[in-house]
Structure 1
Amino acid sequence: MASVMGLLEERETAARVRVEELQAEADRILAELGVAEAVLERRAIARAELAEALATGDDVADPPRLEVRDPAPAAHVVKAPSPGRR
């Protein structure tokens, strides 16, 4: 006849195996979810880019140019002589 402690150990082992199986399945599903989310994001970006391009009617060969402004003139800094230096 099996001891009560032995029966509890068997049940604990079976529960541990089930947890490990479920953890492995969860890891697999999370990895697959990450790939699916990346695909969804790329497709959403592609659709938004296409909609923007069609709405503006810009020629692809002539992309919009950024306006570049001259930077502000640099301030002229005059250093006072430090004590002990001439």
Structure 2
Amino acid sequence: MEKDKWTSNQTYIALGNLLNACAELKIDACPMEGFEREKYNDILALKKQGLNTSVVATIGYRSDNDTSQHTPKVRKSIKSLFA
């Protein structure tokens, strides 16, 4: 169990490198947690390979037809977050 936790945490090093490489190449990337790991494991037959899902990252280029890509992002102020 300790080894599983350690190896899962190590994927974040690779994830950081992936995100940096994507940024350098101007490729959009989105890391995600909160997904159903067991379903990913089943769909990808990872258990047969002794593997387990720990994080998911999507990468690609946004569509030119994406009307929201130039919309300003909504961010809460630091004051409202840490009041």
Higher fraction of helix: 1
More RCO (CA 8 Å, sep 6+): 2
Q: Does TM, scored on the shorter chain, surpass 0.5?
A: no
| TM-score, L = length of structure 1 | 0.30
Q: Which has the larger radius of gyration?
A: 1
